[in-house]
Amino acid sequence: MSARRHDARRYLRASLVVLAAAALTTACAGPAGAGGSASASAAASSGSSTTAASRAPETLTVFAAASLKKTFTELATEFEAANPGVTVALNFAGSSDLVTQITEGAPADVFASADTKNMAKLTAAGLVTGTPTVFATNTLEIAVPPGNPAGVTTFADLADPGTKVVVCAAQVPCGAATATIEKATGVNLTPVSEENAVTDVLGKVSSGEADAGLVYVTDVAAAGTSVLGIPFSESGSAVNSYPIGVVAGSTHAELAGLFAAFVTGPTGHRVLAAAGFSTP
Amino acid sequence: MPRWIVAIAAVGALFIVLPIVGMTARVDWGNFGALVTSPSAIAALLLSLRTAAASTALCLLLGVPMAVVLARSRFRGQRLVRAFVLLPLVLPPVVGGIALLSTFGRRGLLGQTFEVLGIQIAFSTTAVVLAQAFVALPFLVLSVEATLRASGARYEAVAATLGAAPNTVFWRVTLPLVVPGLVSGAVLAFARALGEFGATLTFAGSLEGVTRTLPLEIYLQRETDPDAAVALALVLVVVAVVVMVATHRPRGLS
C-alpha cells in the first residue's frame, strides 16, 4: 500500500470516528431545558450598593415560570433599586422544569410557578416554606395571524374543519386549560398540532402556519402586532393561578420573603397588570 | 501507545457512558414494560422509525450525487459550497426549523407555490421527514465524499480509457467503490434523523401519530411523567446503539 493511499485511509477512518461521535451525541441528547439565567441589571445595583449599602451584598436566586420573564425581569430591577446591595439572579423555564431543577438541588430562594399543580409538587416534596401565595391569574385568548385569514370570531369557530388550530398539549398548563374549556363548552377541537409550550403555539400563529391558536392573554399582549387577540367569554371556565413561595433551605429566607411580598404587593400588582395579568 | 493517551481516552469514554448509566439507574424497571408500550409511546416509536427511514432514503438520493460532485470535480467556490452543505451539522436544529419554515411554510419562499399545487407541508409527516433530512444530509455527504477521496479516481479513469461511458463508470465503478461509506453514512444519517428534535418541533409541530416522534414524545412526557420520559429515552438510546453497532463497521476495524 502506498503512503498516499495509507494517509487517505487514515483520513477516512478519522472522519468516520468524528461523524460517529457527532451522530451519537446529537441523537442521544435530549432537549436542554428551555430557559436561561440572567442577572437583572447587575451593573445598576452594583453602582448603588457602594453609595447606600444598607445590607451586605446578597444575591437572591429567583426561579420563575417562562411566562413571567418580562414582568419578573422588571420586578427584579425595581426590587434591586429598593434594596441596595441586593442582586436578583433570575432563572426562567417551564414550571415543571423548575420543579425538577429545585428537587435535584438547584439553589433557588424563591419559586414562582405558572400553575398551582407544580407548586403543589414542590410543597409535597417538603421544599416550600410556609404557604405559597397566588399573586396573579391568567386566562386563555384566541390568537390569530394579523388579518385573521380564517375569520375566527368565537371559540366554536375553532372547531371548523377548514381552520388549522394549534393548542398546547394536555400535559402542560395551557393545554390543561384548553381541555377544561373544551369540556365546559362541549366544543371539540381537532388541532393540527399540540405543542409543548405556549411560545411554540404563538410561533406557529405569528408565522401564519396556523389559522388560530390558544394562548394566554398575556402572551397576546407581549406579542404586540405579530398576532391579533380574540377574547372569548368561555375563557372564564379555566383560570390559571400563579403562586409564589419561598424555597425551604434558602440561605436568604428573609430576603426571599421580602421579594415574595414585593411581588404580591402594590409594585407587583402594577407591573403584572400592565402585562395583562389579573391580580387577586 | 503512551499510557497517558489510554488514560485520557478512558476518561473520555466515561464522559459519554456515565450519563447513560446514570439515566439507566433512574429507570422504573417495575413499570418499564407498561411505560414503553403505551399507545402514545408505540405511535411515537413507529413514527420515528418510519420517518427516519424515509429521510435516510432522501439523503441517499440527494447526498450521493452531492458527494460525487464534491469529490470528483473542482470548481470555483467549492469550499464555500462544502461549508454550506455542512452547515446543518453545526447549526442549532431550531435554527434549521426556522429556516425550513421560512422556505416550505405556508407563507414561505416555496410554500405559496406548494399551496397552489394543493400540497400542504406544514403539520404533516412530510414536514418531519424534511426536517430530519435537512439535519442528516451532511453526515451522508461527508461519509461518501471521504470514501470517494480515499478510493481515488484511478479505477474510474481506467474504466473510461477502456471505453466505458460516464453512466457505466458511475454505476459499475464509482458506486460499488463507495458502498462502505454509503452504508456508514446512511447509518449515521438514520441515527441523526432518529434523534432530530428542534427542527421538527419548530417546523412540523407535535401531534400523535402524525408529527410527534420519539424525541418529542420524551420531551412532552417529561412534563407530567418523568418515569415514562426516562423509559422512552432508554428505548431511543437502545435503538440508536443497535443500529450503529449492527451496521456501522468502518473499514480497517472489521
Per-residue pLDDT reduced to its tens digit, B221-234: 988 788 899 999 99
- Sign of the dihedral defined by the CA atoms of residues A190, A214, B48, B232, in that order: negative
Return the higher-pLDDT residue of A31 and A67. A67
Q: Does one domain contain both A132 and A40?
A: yes
The number of domains in chain B is 1
- For A26-45, what is the mean pLDDT? 40
A123 in a domain, yes or no?
yes
Range of the structural domain that residue B122 is part of: 3-247
CA A240 to chain CA centroid, Å, is 13
Given an 8 Å threshold on Cβ–Cβ distance, is A203 in contact with B211? no
Interval B41-78: pLDDT, tens: 999 999 999 999 999 999 999 999 999 999 988 899 99
Chain B, residues 57-86, CB within 8 A of chain A, namely none
Q: Does one domain contain both A159 and A231?
A: yes
Range of the structural domain that residue A263 is part of: 36-137+241-274
CA distance B24 to B40: 21
The answer to whether the CB of A100 falls within 8 A of the CB of A32 is no
The answer to whether the CB of A111 falls within 8 A of the CB of A242 is no
Given an 8 Å threshold on Cβ–Cβ distance, is A8 in contact with B191? no
Q: Does one domain contain both A223 and A258?
A: no
Inform me whether the C-beta atom of residue B237 falls under 8 Å from chain A C-beta atoms: yes
Q: What is the CATH number of the domain that holds B104?
A: 1.10.3720.10
Query: Sorting pLDDT into bands at 50, 70 and 90, what band is A31?
Result: very low
B200 in a domain, yes or no?
yes
Q: Which of B101, B195, B251 sits opposite A209 (nearest CB)?
A: B101
Q: Does one domain contain both A255 and A130?
A: yes
Q: Does one domain contain both A117 and A59?
A: yes
CA distance B210 to B198: 16
A131 in a domain, yes or no?
yes
Cell numbers of A143, please?
Answer: 390568537
Please list every residue in chain A whose beta carbon sits closer than 8 Å to the beta carbon of residue B215.
30-31
A117 in a domain, yes or no?
yes
B254 in a domain, yes or no?
no
Q: Which of B150, B223, B240 sits opposite A27 (nearest CB)?
A: B240
Given an 8 Å threshold on Cβ–Cβ distance, is B123 in contact with A31? no
Beta bridge partners of A3: none
The end-to-end CA distance of chain A, in Å, is 81
Q: What is the pTM of this model?
A: 0.78
A47 in a domain, yes or no?
yes
**pLDDT in the model for residue A10:** 55
CA distance B13 to A270: 54
Interval B17-27: pLDDT, tens: 999 999 999 89
Report the 10 Å Cβ neighbour count for A18. Answer: 11
A265 Cβ partners below 8 Å, 6+ apart? none
Q: Does one domain contain both A254 and A120?
A: yes
Q: Does one domain contain both A167 and A180?
A: yes
Q: Does one domain contain both A83 and A213?
A: no
For residue B174, what is the DSSP state? I
Q: Which of B237, B209, B215, B247 is nearest to B42 (CA)?
A: B209
A280 in a domain, yes or no?
no
**pLDDT in the model for residue A20:** 53
Q: Does one domain contain both A229 and A149?
A: yes
Q: Does one domain contain both A49 and A103?
A: yes
Q: What is the CATH number of the domain that holds A43?
A: 3.40.190.10
Interface confidence, given as ipTM, is: 0.78
Q: Interhelix angle for B226-247 vs B39-72, to 10°? A: 40
Q: Does one domain contain both A123 and A253?
A: yes
The number of domains in chain A is 2
Percent helix, strand and coil across chain B, each rounded to 5? Answer: 80, 0, 20
- pLDDT higher than 60, residue A106: yes
Given an 8 Å threshold on Cβ–Cβ distance, is B236 in contact with A24? no
Given an 8 Å threshold on Cβ–Cβ distance, is A11 in contact with B150? yes
Given an 8 Å threshold on Cβ–Cβ distance, is A169 in contact with B206? yes
Q: Does one domain contain both A251 and A120?
A: yes
